């Protein structure tokens, strides 16, 4: 494993300074000397290399090298089918350490939990023990990643969804440190609202597992439409990045600047489902792949790639610089 001890020491220091209050934990990551930031986004991947996970990982390594990425974002469902059984579960190494081996991917991974992760031992994925096994790994429920030009707000979306609580079918969900649900969700929304209001970053990116807008099998997540989306719109969020649907998507909001970006093609895909959506669909690929995001103070560029590393879709947006008074 490539060493990046300075980054890890800095990360550990930030974590140690985080308040134990209900406020969202805040981490920091430096940008490049030229003022830019590059990253890859992957979701719904952990299948021990199967279902083309290894192929996608190989191309991530190639693109990551070309872009000189600073870190990787995981949109959740990190380990199938039911998360990890504990901190000693070999699936961690078989689905993560032994798959994402490219030199360019030996950077910090910032991860959220997905619904499949909640079917296992959630506390194992959150445990610092895993960071000792592979120092790239960092998974928290909800947190903020501050950089000089962009703030990332990672949101634990699984507790929002009604049917995981009311109709779990044969699945068990690990609600430790989440129940009672109403209190947890209410506090999270309040903390997110405050954090977004305080943010002075040029770009605001929110990362969650579940879709807000989607044309694939899971469609829109009604609970996020009613509770999370109004907060994102109120504070001028630029991008909402998610997984959950095993595909690649780009949908533009009709009534706000928000771009909905689905990167859930890390392994098993090809659902064969398409549902129309009232917002503007710019791109949909019902297959495996991943996404890159490159940012400067004035430009954000999104690129989607398939499992062979071919570019499927590009989109960019610019912002004018405003001098502070």
The verdict on whether residue 117 carries a ligand-binding annotation is no
Q: Is 275 annotated as a binding residue?
A: no
Q: Does 218 participate in catalysis according to the annotation?
A: yes
For residue 27 the two structure tokens come to 């981490």
Would the annotation count 246 as a binding residue?
Answer: yes
- 115 assigned binding-site residue: yes
Which residue from 217, 233, 235 is spatially nearest to 225, judged by alpha carbons?
A: 233
Kindly name the residue from 29, 116, 218, 235 that is annotated as catalytic: 218
Strand partners, 263: 248
Rounded to the nearest 5 degrees, what angle is found at the Cα of 29, between the Cα atoms of 310 and 325? 110
Cβ 232 vs Cβ 267: under 8 Å: no
CA 136 to chain CA centroid, Å, is 15
DSSP state of 80: T
Q: Rounded to whole angstroms, how far apart are CA atoms 229 and 266?
A: 25
Residue 226: phi, psi to the nearest 5? -85, -30
Q: How far apart are CA 205 and CA 66, in angstroms?
A: 23
Task: Tell me: is residue 260 an annotated ligand-binding position.
Answer: no
d(CA 187, CA 181): 10
Indicate the annotated binding residues for Fe cation. 44, 77, 80, 115, 209, 244, 246
Indicate the annotated binding residues. 44, 77, 80, 115, 209, 244, 246
Q: Which residues are catalytic?
A: 218
């Amino acid at each position: 494993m490539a060493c990046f001890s300075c980054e890890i020491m800095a990360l550990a220091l930030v974590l140690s300074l985080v308040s134990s209050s209900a406020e969202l934990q805040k981490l920091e990551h430096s940008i490049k000397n030229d003022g830019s930031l590059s990253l890859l986004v992957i979701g719904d991947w952990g299948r021990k290399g199967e279902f083309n996970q290894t192929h996608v990982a190989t191309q991530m390594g190639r693109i990551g090298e070309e872009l000189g990425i600073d870190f990787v974002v995981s949109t959740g469902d990190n380990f199938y089918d039911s998360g990890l059984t504990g901190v000693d579960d070999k699936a961690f190494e078989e689905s993560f350490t032994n798959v994402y081996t490219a030199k360019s991917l030996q950077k910090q991974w910032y991860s959220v939990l997905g619904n499949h992760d909640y079917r296992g031992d959630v506390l194992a994925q959150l445990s610092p023990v895993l960071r000792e096994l592979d120092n790239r790994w960092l998974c928290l429920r909800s947190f903020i990643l501050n950089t000089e030009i962009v703030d990332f707000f990672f949101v634990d979306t699984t507790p929002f969804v009604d049917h995981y609580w009311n109709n779990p079918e044969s699945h068990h969900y690990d609600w430790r440190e989440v129940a009672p649900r109403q209190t947890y969700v209410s506090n999270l929304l309040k903390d997110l609202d405050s954090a977004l209001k305080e943010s002075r970053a040029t770009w605001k990116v929110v990362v969650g597992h579940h879709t807000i807008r989607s044309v694939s099998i899971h469609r829109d997540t009604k609970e996020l439409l009613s509770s999370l989306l109004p907060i994102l719109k109120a504070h001028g969020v630029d991008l909402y990045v998610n997984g959950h649907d095993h595909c690649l998507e780009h949908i533009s909001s009709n009534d706000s600047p928000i771009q909905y970006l689905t990167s859930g093609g890390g392994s098993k895909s090809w659902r064969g489902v398409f549902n129309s959506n009232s917002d503007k669909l710019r791109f949909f690929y019902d297959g495996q792949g991943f996404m890159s995001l490159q940012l400067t103070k004035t430009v954000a560029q999104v690129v989607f790639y398939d499992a062979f590393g071919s570019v499927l879709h590009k989109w960019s947006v610019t912002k004018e610089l405003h001098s502070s008074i």
